Amino acid sequence: MISFVATIFTSCEPDAGRNPQISFKTGANYVSADATLKKDTTITIGIDAAKSEDKDVLKSYTLSRSINGMTDSTIFSATLTGSDQDKYSKDVALKIGGFGGSKSGDKETYKATVINRDGLIGQVSLTVTIK
């Protein structure tokens, strides 16, 4: 008698994951798209972020700014805990031209970034041109 041992292989497709959701807040009190504004104007940039998958909670949020394509500088950063890991909302007030030596025609780019448990990134950005 010959015995056969059958091995069944099951294959799980790797979870490619989904990037966390993030969007700029809109409305009269917010700058949420590219704009041209006077130097020293105070603006508010707000975001809403949410996890895209049940287990892939949000881990961190960063708002950064660069001028004329130079290296990003962090304006605000947070490690998210508790209920913020499911949904996160933040408003930050900023002064346009807050970099020393900013002048008319300079472009400030603001990037809002949220990262989930798997290291996947959600990001939105906008550019303000100084008048």
Domain containing residue 54: CATH number: 2.60.40.2550
Query: Whole domain around residue 121: which residue ranges?
Result: 21-96+103-130
Specify if 15 maps to a domain. Answer: no
| Residue 5 scores a pLDDT above 50 | no
| Residue 13 scores a pLDDT above 80 | no
Specify if 12 maps to a domain. Answer: no
Give the chain's count of helices (H) and strands (E): 0, 8
How many structural domains are present in the chain?
A: 1
Q: What is the DSSP letter of 12?
A: P
CA gyration radius, the chain: 21
H-helix or E-strand spanning residue 48: strand 42-50
Give the length of the chain: 131
Specify if 44 maps to a domain. Answer: yes
Specify if 108 maps to a domain. Answer: yes
Average the pLDDT over 19-43 and give the result: 97
Specify if 79 maps to a domain. Answer: yes
Q: How far apart are CA 51 and CA 122, in angstroms?
A: 10
Specify if 120 maps to a domain. Answer: yes
Q: How far apart are CA 17 and CA 14, in angstroms?
A: 9
Q: Helix, strand, coil shares of the chain as percentages rounded to 5? A: 5, 45, 50
Among 6-15, 17-26, 97-106, 108-117, the least confident range: 6-15
| Residue 112 scores a pLDDT above 70 | yes
